[in-house]
Amino acid sequence: EIVLTQSPATLSLSPGERATLSCRASQSVTRYLAWYQQKPGQAPRLLIYDTSNRATGIPARFSGSGSGTDFTLTISSLEPEDFAVYYCQQRTNWPPLTFGGGTKVEIK
Protein backbone atom coordinates (compact mmCIF):
# COMPACT_ATOMS: atom_id res chain seq x y z
CA GLU A 1 0.00 0.00 0.00
CA ILE A 2 1.29 3.44 -0.92
CA VAL A 3 1.31 5.78 2.07
CA LEU A 4 0.90 9.51 1.45
CA THR A 5 2.28 11.89 4.08
CA GLN A 6 1.14 15.49 4.00
CA SER A 7 2.92 18.39 5.63
CA PRO A 8 2.50 20.56 7.48
CA ALA A 9 -0.54 19.34 9.36
CA THR A 10 -1.66 22.94 9.80
CA LEU A 11 -0.68 26.04 7.87
CA SER A 12 -1.54 29.41 9.40
CA LEU A 13 -1.60 32.18 6.82
CA SER A 14 -3.31 35.46 6.04
CA PRO A 15 -5.49 36.23 3.01
CA GLY A 16 -3.30 37.26 0.09
CA GLU A 17 -0.38 35.10 1.19
CA ARG A 18 1.03 32.17 -0.77
CA ALA A 19 0.32 28.66 0.49
CA THR A 20 2.60 25.73 -0.22
CA LEU A 21 1.37 22.27 0.75
CA SER A 22 3.43 19.10 0.48
CA CYS A 23 2.51 15.47 -0.19
CA ARG A 24 5.16 12.75 -0.06
CA ALA A 25 4.54 9.19 -1.26
CA SER A 26 6.16 6.08 0.21
CA GLN A 27 6.99 4.95 -3.32
CA SER A 28 6.78 6.50 -6.73
CA VAL A 29 3.30 7.38 -7.99
CA THR A 30 4.80 8.80 -11.23
CA ARG A 31 2.42 11.72 -11.91
CA TYR A 32 -0.82 10.08 -10.78
CA LEU A 33 -1.65 12.32 -7.86
CA ALA A 34 -4.68 14.48 -7.14
CA TRP A 35 -5.57 17.20 -4.65
CA TYR A 36 -8.96 17.79 -3.01
CA GLN A 37 -10.33 20.64 -0.93
CA GLN A 38 -12.81 20.04 1.88
CA LYS A 39 -14.62 22.78 3.76
CA PRO A 40 -16.40 22.13 7.08
CA GLY A 41 -19.67 20.28 6.62
CA GLN A 42 -19.08 19.77 2.92
CA ALA A 43 -17.95 16.92 0.70
CA PRO A 44 -14.46 17.12 -0.80
CA ARG A 45 -13.98 18.80 -4.17
CA LEU A 46 -11.44 17.76 -6.80
CA LEU A 47 -8.95 20.56 -7.44
CA ILE A 48 -6.01 19.04 -9.31
CA TYR A 49 -5.51 15.69 -11.05
CA ASP A 50 -2.46 14.03 -12.60
CA THR A 51 -0.21 16.35 -10.57
CA SER A 52 -0.89 19.59 -12.38
CA ASN A 53 -4.21 19.58 -14.26
CA ARG A 54 -6.90 21.80 -12.78
CA ALA A 55 -10.35 20.28 -12.58
CA THR A 56 -13.30 22.03 -14.17
CA GLY A 57 -14.01 25.41 -12.64
CA ILE A 58 -10.94 25.55 -10.43
CA PRO A 59 -9.32 29.00 -10.33
CA ALA A 60 -5.86 29.53 -11.75
CA ARG A 61 -4.45 30.48 -8.33
CA PHE A 62 -4.38 26.72 -7.59
CA SER A 63 -1.45 24.88 -9.14
CA GLY A 64 0.20 21.53 -8.65
CA SER A 65 3.69 20.25 -9.33
CA GLY A 66 6.00 17.34 -8.65
CA SER A 67 6.68 13.80 -9.75
CA GLY A 68 7.73 10.48 -8.33
CA THR A 69 7.39 10.81 -4.57
CA ASP A 70 7.25 14.57 -3.89
CA PHE A 71 4.35 16.80 -4.80
CA THR A 72 3.26 20.33 -4.04
CA LEU A 73 -0.04 22.18 -4.13
CA THR A 74 0.42 25.94 -4.34
CA ILE A 75 -2.24 28.56 -3.79
CA SER A 76 -0.70 31.71 -5.16
CA SER A 77 -2.73 34.23 -3.18
CA LEU A 78 -5.17 32.98 -0.56
CA GLU A 79 -8.77 34.05 -0.87
CA PRO A 80 -11.10 33.88 2.17
CA GLU A 81 -12.87 30.84 0.67
CA ASP A 82 -9.59 28.89 0.39
CA PHE A 83 -9.28 28.26 4.11
CA ALA A 84 -10.07 24.57 4.30
CA VAL A 85 -8.51 21.11 4.57
CA TYR A 86 -6.59 19.76 1.58
CA TYR A 87 -5.99 16.09 0.80
CA CYS A 88 -3.78 14.39 -1.75
CA GLN A 89 -4.68 11.03 -3.32
CA GLN A 90 -2.76 8.56 -5.50
CA ARG A 91 -4.07 6.22 -8.16
CA THR A 92 -0.87 4.58 -9.37
CA ASN A 93 -1.04 1.36 -7.47
CA TRP A 94 -4.44 0.33 -6.20
CA PRO A 95 -6.38 -1.11 -4.56
CA PRO A 96 -6.31 0.53 -2.22
CA LEU A 97 -6.72 4.08 -3.39
CA THR A 98 -4.97 6.06 -0.69
CA PHE A 99 -5.32 9.58 0.64
CA GLY A 100 -2.95 11.69 2.66
CA GLY A 101 -3.84 12.71 6.18
CA GLY A 102 -4.67 16.27 5.17
CA THR A 103 -3.33 19.79 5.66
CA LYS A 104 -5.54 22.39 7.28
CA VAL A 105 -5.05 25.90 5.96
CA GLU A 106 -6.29 28.26 8.65
CA ILE A 107 -6.52 31.99 8.99
CA LYS A 108 -3.64 33.50 10.93
Partner 1 sequence: EVQMVESGGDLVQPGGSLRLSCAASGFTFSSYWMHWVRQAPGKGLVWVSHINFDGTIRTYADSVKGRFTISRDNAKSTLYLEMNSLRGDDAALYYCARSRGDYVDQWGQGTLVTVSS
* 17 vs 24 by CB, closer to partner 1: 24
Cβ atoms of 48 and 73 within 8 Å: the answer is yes
Verify binding: residue 45, partner 1, rule CB under 8 A: yes
Cβ atoms of 31 and 25 within 8 Å: the answer is no
Question: Looking at 21, 29, 36, 75, which residue binds partner 1 (CB under 8 A)?
Answer: 36
Verify binding: residue 106, partner 1, rule CB under 8 A: no
Neighbouring-strand partners of residue 103: 86
The mark string for 2-31 relative to partner 1 (x by CB under 8 A, - otherwise) is ------------------------------
Output the smallest distance, CB 63 to partner 1, in A: 17
Task: Give the interface segment with partner 1, choosing from 16-24, 63-71, 75-83, 93-101 (CB under 8 A).
Answer: 93-101
Sites of contact with partner 1 (CB under 8 A): 32, 34, 36, 38, 42-46, 49-50, 55, 87, 89, 91, 94-102
